[in-house]
């Protein structure tokens, strides 16, 4: 089993790259952003709560996000492995994930960070906003808020996973295939350890 976290700032390409490698390794892709958006469009209670935060570019509170993620993982186990995209985004989320996985006799094998400079991210997100229908991609203020949330709450996870010897950073700038090849190189080198 291979459990991978794909990590990075908003717009760094987590979702795209996760979709590209899930078939190659037979992994189950869980994107917290996608689950929240599905609930929002279906008007569920969870979706209505999440929407209040997402529309402002803020993280959804941990309690809600962790419960949602746990039920997603439990719904897919047993499987070949997971690729988590957009989770964890806080230290509490990461600790809760470790505890959940310990209880299931599983663990995270590697965390791959996609490194992209902020000016490129803002351009990418505004471009995506023209077609994605995502209102959090359509204003520079909301994008900046998401980048601030990243710096404040998510960035500390790099040290958290470095301390577990699981963190690898790759250059997220380049063609989709170039980035994908860098990612595959990291996964394969780790698998052959």
For ligand ADP, the closer of residues 14 and 29 by Cβ is 14
86 binds ligand ADP (CB under 6 A): yes
83 binds ligand ADP (CB under 6 A): no
Q: Please give the residue whose beta carbon sits closest to ligand ADP in the complex.
A: 33
Backbone angles phi, psi at 192, to 5 degrees: -90, 5
Question: Distance between alpha carbon 97 and the CA centroid of its chain, in Å?
Answer: 13
Which of 5, 60, 83, 114 binds ligand ADP (CB under 6 A)? It is 60
116 binds ligand ADP (CB under 6 A): no
* 153-182: contacts with ligand ADP (CB under 6 A): none
Distance between CA 31 and CA 120 in Å, rounded?
A: 22
Distance between CA 168 and CA 185 in Å, rounded?
A: 11
Out of 22, 37, 146, 153, the active site residue is: 146
CA atoms within 13 A on the CB side of 156: 9
Count of beta carbons in the 10 Å neighbourhood of residue 154: 23
In angstroms and rounded to an integer, the radius of gyration of the C-alpha atoms of the chain is: 16
36 binds ligand ADP (CB under 6 A): yes
89 binds ligand ADP (CB under 6 A): yes
Q: Are 86 and 62 in contact (CB under 8 A)?
A: no
For ligand ADP, the closer of residues 176 and 185 by Cβ is 176
Out of 9, 14, 37, 51, the active site residue is: 14
- Smallest distance, ligand ADP to C-beta of residue 67, A: 11
65 binds ligand ADP (CB under 6 A): yes
32 binds ligand ADP (CB under 6 A): yes
Q: Which of 101, 87, 109 is nearest to 32 (CA)?
A: 87
Q: Would residue 89 show up in a list of annotated catalytic residues for this protein?
A: yes
Which of 5, 6, 30, 54 binds ligand ADP (CB under 6 A)? It is 54
Per-residue 3-state assignment (H helix, E strand, C coil) for 145-184: HHHHHHHHHHCHHHHHHHCCCCEEEEECCCCHHHHHHHHH
Interface with ligand ADP (CB under 6 A): 10-11, 14, 32-33, 36, 53-54, 57-60, 65, 86-87, 89, 93, 136, 146
For the annotated catalytic residues, the residue numbers are 14, 89, 128, 134, 146
């Amino acid at each position: 089993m291979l459990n991978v976290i794909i990590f990075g700032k908003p717009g760094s390409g987590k979702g795209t790259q996760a979709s590209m490698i899930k078939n190659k390794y037979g992994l189950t892709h869980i994107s917290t952003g996608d689950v929240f958006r599905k609930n929002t469009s279906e008007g569920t209670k969870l979706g209505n709560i999440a929407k209040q935060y997402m529309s402002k570019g803020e993280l959804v509170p941990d309690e809600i996000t962790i419960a949602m993620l746990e039920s997603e993982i439990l719904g897919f186990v047993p499987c070949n492995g997971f690729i988590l995209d957009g989770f964890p985004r806080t230290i509490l989320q990461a600790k809760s994930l470790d505890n959940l996985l310990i209880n299931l006799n599983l663990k995270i094998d590697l965390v791959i960070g996609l490194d992209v400079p902020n000016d490129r991210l803002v351009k990418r997100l505004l471009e995506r906003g023209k077609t994605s229908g995502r209102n959090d991609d359509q204003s520079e203020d909301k994008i900046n808020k998401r980048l601030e949330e990243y710096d404040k709450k998510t960035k500390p996870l790099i040290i958290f996973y470095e301390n577990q010897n699981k963190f690898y950073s790759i250059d997220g700038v380049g063609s989709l295939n170039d980035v994908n090849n860098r990612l595959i190189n990291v996964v394969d080198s780790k698998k052959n350890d």
